[in-house]
Amino acid sequence: MSSGILQVFQRELTCPICMNYFIDPVTIDCGHSFCRPCFYLNWQDIPLLVQCSECRKSTRQRNLETNIHLKKMASLARKASLWQFLSSEEQMCGIHRETKKMFCEVDRSLLCLLCSSSQKHRDHKHCPIEWAAEEHREKLLKKMQSLWEEACENHRNLNMETTRTKYWKDYVNLRLEAVRAEYQKMPALHHEEEKHNLEMLKKKGKDIFHQLHLSKAKMAHRREILRGIYEELKEMCHKPDVELLQGFGDILHRSESVLLHKPQPLNLELSSGPIAGLMDRLNQFRVHITLHHEEANSHIFRYEILRSMCIECDHQDVPYITATPRSFLAWGAQTFTSGKYYWEFHVGDSWNWAFGVCNTYWKEKNQNEKIDGEEGLFLLGCVKNDIQCRLFTTSPLMLQYIPRPTSQVGLFLDYEAKTVSFVDVNQSSLIYTIPNCSFSPPLRPIFCCIHF
């Protein structure tokens, strides 16, 4: 093979980022190929989209499969380089003047066939050098994949803590305002209880704010550690076969230790405590709601968006769900155009549900149209992710960092005040009050749950 053709062949098997033979090559949408580790590390902070360094076209990071053909060709190229190295005079066995073809896994030395069967090495484990090199490289790649998955999870968690830290003070103030407004409807004899509950909320809010900063710092530090060990493993993978075998050392053990003791996002809870007399006051406005059930492909409960909010990341980053969610709706037979009303739902230990009131046009539109906003939809809901359940309210869509109710949940509709309040009946506590609701009469009760 001429030197020109050989150079073209080598160039086709070379990663344009690291300029080494491919390891675990991936080919992206535009047709260009890179080492998977080089491509990953070329992304800044693991974004959803990344530009190809060759043609500047954007591509998505998901579902990158190994280019098996390129991987085999790159492996052959490394073997050719290995045999060229081993065939040199200085690498010949000094005793038997034979090529060193075997690798001793005990003392990590290169041996000729005669040396490997000598008394000194006969009880050691040996294998051909090119086999050993590829096996060690595959072990490194497998560990790198675990590290990358850990880095992605840590990145999502860090984004979550950053977002929660940014908005936490506003959330605490909203809860303080909601609880304070609820006490203003109660007799003055509850003043001491109000003072105690509000002070408790403020203190808990400050404590959590401090914990969020500490959690962010731990995750940021872990990000640097994970990236550092990932780059170290990548460099080891790119070493020539002999250097890889002899320098393998304890790098796998160190990478495994990095995967231990990973920081988890805080489980935030900001309960406001029970309000004496709350249920007595609400039960004065109690009504019985009759529901009509139906099954529909409803966009009222847009599971992907709600679940992404539940784990507090962009909904495009939510792991793909193969099951198709279906909404089971129950509409209230009654409608409301004025007044005050209170009713309850039993939720038990269930998840992926929502209930509340909505402007009537939702009932007509949900069957046929995709609706992108929450205007006219006033819900309390629960969404389950892989770890826990989260509560949310709509108008606007926001998480509620309080314990999930496990029995009865109440709804109080105050048409004149334009508010919808949700309460944990067993705890006699306020979950949240949606203020300044854009009511468009008539209002209709709604209950929705998701099944897969």
The reply to whether 109 and 143 lie within a common domain is no
Which pLDDT tens digit goes with each residue over 393-446? 988 888 899 888 888 999 999 999 999 999 999 999 999 999 999 998 899 998
Which of 52, 74, 96 is the endpoint of a domain? 74
Confidence (pLDDT) at 431: 94
- Of 329, 311, 331, the closest CA to residue 321 belongs to 311
The reply to whether 292 and 419 lie within a common domain is yes
Residue 344 has pLDDT above 80, yes or no: yes
Distances (CA, A) of 436 to 252, 417, 419: 58, 8, 6
CATH label of the domain that carries residue 107: 3.30.160.60
The reply to whether 415 and 443 lie within a common domain is yes
42-51, 161-170, 179-188, 326-335 — which is least confidently predicted? 42-51
The reply to whether 192 and 94 lie within a common domain is no
Which pLDDT tens digit goes with each residue over 355-399? 999 887 776 664 444 444 467 889 998 887 666 778 899 888 888
Q: For the chain, what is the mean pLDDT? A: 82
pLDDT class of 292 with cuts at 50, 70, 90: confident
Structural domain contains residue 319: no
**Angle of CA points 444, 394, 366, to nearest 5°:** 50
Q: How far apart are the first and last CA of the chain?
A: 59
How does strand 408-414 pair with strand 419-424? antiparallel
Confidence (pLDDT) at 316: 44
Question: Tokens 């508010």 identify what position?
Answer: 419
Give the range of the structural domain holding residue 92, as residue numbers without chain letter. Answer: 84-131
Structural domain contains residue 207: yes
- Of 386, 251, 359, the closest CA to residue 300 belongs to 359
Q: Please count the structural domains in the chain.
A: 4
Which of 74, 100, 115 is the endpoint of a domain? 74
CATH label of the domain that carries residue 62: 3.30.40.10
Which pLDDT tens digit goes with each residue over 315-326? 444 443 344 456
The reply to whether 45 and 163 lie within a common domain is no
Residue 248 has pLDDT above 90, yes or no: no
Structural domain contains residue 395: yes
pTM of the model: 0.78
The reply to whether 295 and 357 lie within a common domain is yes
Confidence (pLDDT) at 374: 60
Structural domain contains residue 435: yes
SS3 of 151, please?
A: helix
CATH label of the domain that carries residue 338: 2.60.120.920
